[in-house]
Chain A
């Protein structure tokens, strides 16, 4: 059983997804528990694999027993073992979280929604686990297709947003496919490790340069890096709460993970630095993304839209960090992929709760929420502090490594941009805290001592509250134990430059 764990991570949710419609035909309300079971099993196997990787090193799993490069292979090293845990955990939390919001938003589409939801999670996990470039494309498309549908069922305007996403997302995927084709024509292989070995001989051809450029372009589109972010704010803003809580944190981060994979596993760092000004371009794109994301997020009045522009900036952190191309910055970037997935998930959980409670997700809808939902807002404060980068939350440490990396690389503008973004986040979140705190501008409100403060409280439902609280705990714990994560996991995958 343990030996088969890698494939079970994917196959279990896949089979459960196939059977979800059947379960739905029998009892609609069971679908929720059905996919919870699937994701819980998947998460359990992810943890098993993770522990095994920590103990014994990289796992190679040959699907169908065919040796690579003829068959498809799963390769789980420290990086994607950790990614698997993060992705499956967030998917599980989001599934738990989705219950009430789905009941409220589309009570009669539960079966289909949960099926697509599970397929989406399967796609994400498949992307992370695979060691084959074409297999990655297939899973990328599964997750994209599921994502298009999950977004399209949102509020007014979601359809057009989803359509834009379909078109742009397909362009991104096509670019990736072209890149894979160019690599295939020069090496004859699709297996990542095999390609990495074969590329050494053909590194300096124009074909490989263009292949890299197209894969990079495709990923930039998928991860919504400035200036290719245009599909993202609309899509994630209009999507239903449960969908955006699953897709927004994971889609962009997983694309960033693929980028790390492509740069450090398939193309070797020597290729990247020797042939193309890629690192410089990535650094400056990251810089532009941070500045642009920060400025645009101030201009928003819609909470979810604001979060989208925060994501634009955070993607800038990651790409810029990789672009700095020194071990410290890369450590920071990889740590930030993980941290940001958790933080963004938390923020979208909060957005969903606000929407559930008030029906909208504008900044002004936070009014008096500190009084009404103290626990939710407590979790929100912790998540927000992590986005701002206050120790000991995890957001501080990735930022620390990134800034230190920028100093090592003499990239002062990038360091300044990171600090600027932190300052902007202070403004963004404290603006919301002020609204939530409920300042009374009319008259002096002092004087009434805790009048019926008990009756005012109307907390979010437990299925929504618990995931949010868990996220805030995870944020603090990963912050405190970040050194453990870095030395035991991330340092194994940071290249020696």
Chain B
């Protein structure tokens, strides 16, 4: 058990963060809080991915000068770059979703004057 925590704590962090976000989405009645929960959830996934790329004794995925022209680069020296790339895309997706969600929230607030779910349901005929 201890072994598990010590060697895989990154996953546990991600799970905890994910669950917090998930909880906010399900339980919170305020729509903005739901959106925040959604963001926390997505962020946790991003952290998870980035942690996949981690390598013991690895450095940033930018070639050192010494390796520029070498023919046999030791891949173990550098972090795995792929998850970083994927997460750049995912971050953009997250931001875009946030933007659209907020636009909808703005409209809803203009139209109904509230962002509390219970109140809102009453005002939508």
On A, residues with C-beta under 8 Å from B are: 134, 137-138, 141, 144-145, 148-149, 152, 156-157, 159-160, 162-163, 166-167, 170-171, 174, 177-178, 181, 184-185, 190
Considering only residues 43-89 of chain B, those with a C-beta below 8 Å from chain A are: 45, 48-49, 52, 82-83, 86, 89
CB distance from A139 to the nearest CB of B (A): 11
**B52 and A159 within 8 A (CB):** no
* B52: contacting residue among A141, A163, A181, CB under 8 A: A181
In the bound complex, do residue B108 and residue A160 qualify as a contact, i.e. CB atoms below 8 Å apart?
yes
Q: Which residue of chain A has the shortest Cβ distance to B99 in the bound complex?
A: A145
A148 touches which one: B35, B89, B104, B121 (CB < 8 A)?
A: B104
Q: Once the chains bind, are B45 and A166 in contact (CB under 8 Å)?
A: no
Residue from B45, B108, B125 within 8 A of A163 (CB atoms): B108
Tell me if B20 is interfacial: C-beta within 8 Å of chain A: no
Pick the most buried of A174, A178, A185: most chain B CB atoms within 10 A of its CB: A174
Residues in A with CB closer than 8 Å to B89 are 134, 138
* Complex contacts, A138 vs chain B, CB 8 Å: 89, 93
Given A156-B125, A159-B107, CB of A167 within 8 Å of CB of B93: no
Q: Looking at the complex, which one of A149, A156, A163 makes contact with B31 (CB distance below 8 Å)? A: A163
Q: Residues of B contacting A162 with CB < 8 Å?
A: 104
Give bound CA distance, A178 to B107, whole Å. Answer: 31
The distance in angstroms between the C-alpha atoms of A181 and B31, with both chains bound, is 29
A184-B52 contact given A141-B97, A171-B25, CB 8 Å threshold: yes
Residues in chain B near residue A141, CB distance under 8 A:
93, 96-97
B38 contacts A148, C-beta separation under 8 Å = no
With both beta carbons as reference points, the residue of chain A lying nearest to B107 in the complex is identified as A159
Question: A160-B108, A171-B41 are known contacts. Are A166 and B101 too (CB-CB below 8 A)?
Answer: yes
A148 touches B52 (CB 8 A): no
- A142 CB to closest chain B CB (Å) equals 9
Q: Is the CB of A156 within 8 A of B124?
A: yes
- The residues of A that contact B19 with a CB separation of less than 8 Å are none
Q: Would A181 and B45 be within 8 Å (CB), given that A145-B96, A145-B100, A163-B101 are in contact? A: yes
Q: A177-B90, A181-B49 are in contact. Are A157 and B124 (CB under 8 A)?
A: yes
Task: Chain B residues near A148: list those with CB within 8 A.
Answer: 100-101, 104
Kindly name the residue among A141, A170, A185, A190 whose own CB sees the greatest number of chain B CB atoms within 10 A.
A170
CB pair B124–A134 under 8 Å, yes or no, is: no
- Taking CB atoms, residues of chain A closer than 8 Å to B7 are none
Cross-chain contact B38 with A167 (CB below 8 angstroms) = yes
Contact B34 A167 (CB under 8 A): yes
Contact in complex: A163, B105 (CB < 8 Å): yes
Closest to A189 in B: B82
Contact call B97/A174, Cβ cutoff below 8 A: no
Residues of A within 8 A of B97 (CB): 141, 144-145, 166, 170
Contacts of A134 in B (CB 8 A): 86, 89
Among A144, A178, A181: residue with most chain B CB under 10 A = A181
B42 touching A163 by the CB < 8 A rule?
no
Q: Which residue of A166, A181, A185 is within 8 Å of B104 (Cβ)?
A: A166
Of B42, B100, B121, which is in contact with the most chain A CB atoms at under 10 Å from its CB? B100
Task: Identify the 6 closest CB pairs spanning chains A and B, nearest first.
Answer: A141-B93, A159-B108, A157-B124, A166-B101, A163-B104, A152-B104
The residues of A that contact B108 with a CB separation of less than 8 Å are 159-160, 163
